[in-house]
Structure 1
Amino acid sequence: MYCNRLYANKPELAASRIDAIGYQVGHQLSERYTMERPRFTDHLDAIKFICKDFWSELFKKQIDNLKTNHRGTFVLQDNRFRWVSRMSLDPSENGDLSQENAEAAENKAVQEPNMHLHFSCGVIKGALHNLGIACAVSADPSQLPACSFVVRIKP
């Protein structure tokens, strides 16, 4: 993977770079998908667009669940997030499975989906920024392949 080679000892830098790449992709895709639409009047309309139309274009399905506290926080849940649903590690990469290698493999198993999720968070953030909404996006991968994305609108 791109980040493993260039940022092997700096996972925070890798995450930041992958998020930035996702941001560019999301920004450009939302520009393309909203070309024929009028501007959204409020945050909820823009989030609904992300959950229905934007997500459908990317993953051929809508977000499974949208929750909000009506104070600028939205939780988008995809019960079978396609980009991590079939992810697995190649055991031959590690050679023998000593205790040290097993721990390294487990650490890698946690980092791989997280890097994909940094990209996804960047895509959502870029799309919303293009729609005029400054926000922070984080992912909760604790129930893979289900994934929740938390969008916090910045004031």
Structure 2
Amino acid sequence: MSFEAPLPPYNFTDPTATFFSASCIDLLLIELVPLVQRMAESAPTLDTPLPSYARPAAAAAATDKPPATSSNASTNPPAAGAAATAPTVVDTLSDEEATREDIYNRLENLGYKVGIGLVERFSRDRSRFTDNLDVIKFLCKDIWHLVFRKQIDNLKTNHRGVYVLTDMTFRPLIRMSAASGVPAATKAAPFLQFPCGVIRGALSAMGVNAQVTAETPGLPGAVFQITTVNKNPSG
């Protein structure tokens, strides 16, 4: 896989080599978040059930039977206390948070699979990494350039397993605007989950278990923090 213009003889010695337009990855990253949001709305997971106020209707639809009602309910109007069964603000917020977490997990898991595949494909001819810093450098230079067509602008570490990667012009956020009044961090958060998954998957494929978080200090910049669990790729 390459973004560069193919030159004769089109790398015929590598039967797995493919070429595609750089705009493909841009369109993928733009459409990925709305796609996963639609998937989460149409097929909630067991970890993210339907909102509480929608569960009775969903259960009735699943059994093709109307919700059970008492004889008094069919003849008498609802009592004043019935309003207490309506969804409260707290219930709504908790449902929204659960749905958001489900979307983030889906995006991160998709990125994780992509990260593993990238490393398996593009590090097959390299010698085994023996130091976490070498793994992070390979991520910042080779993998980052492959996916986002540039290298990381800044890499910092405390030499105790924490690495901070700064991309001042992160490609998925270049066309994003915060003029609508929504905070940039809130608006950009879903679009940072897939790259977090790519990073975690790439590190996992190189033998490094890590936790990855991301935030934006201001569009279109992005900061990724990697906290490794093991001390070296073989540990």
TM-score interval, normalised by the smaller of the two chains: 0.7 to 0.9
The unaligned stretches of length 5 or more in structure 2 are: 1-33, 42-95, 231-235
Aligned runs of 1:1-155 on 2, under 5 Å?
1-8=34-41, 9=96, 10-88=99-177, 106=182, 111-155=186-230
Q: Which moved more, 1:67-76 or 1:110-119?
A: 110-119
Q: What amino acid maps onto 1:106 in structure 2? A: V
Change (3 A) 1:70 1:77: same
Q: TM-score scaled to structure 2, two decimals? A: 0.56
Q: What amino acid maps onto 2:135 in structure 1? A: A
CA RMSD of aligned residues (A): 2.0
Identity of aligned residues (%): 43
The unaligned stretches of length 5 or more in structure 1 are: 92-101
1 CA distance for matches of 2:208 and 2:37? 32
Q: What amino acid maps onto 1:25 in structure 2? A: V
2 CA distance for matches of 1:11 and 1:49? 32
CA deviations on 1:90-111 (whole Å, 9 max, x unpaired) are x9xxxxxxxxxx8xx737x755
Change (3 A) 1:12 1:112: same
Contact 2:177 2:219 in 1 (8 A): no
Per-residue deviation, 1:138: 0.4
1 CA distance for matches of 2:218 and 2:186? 15
SS at match of 2:217: coil
1 CA distance for matches of 2:199 and 2:36? 20
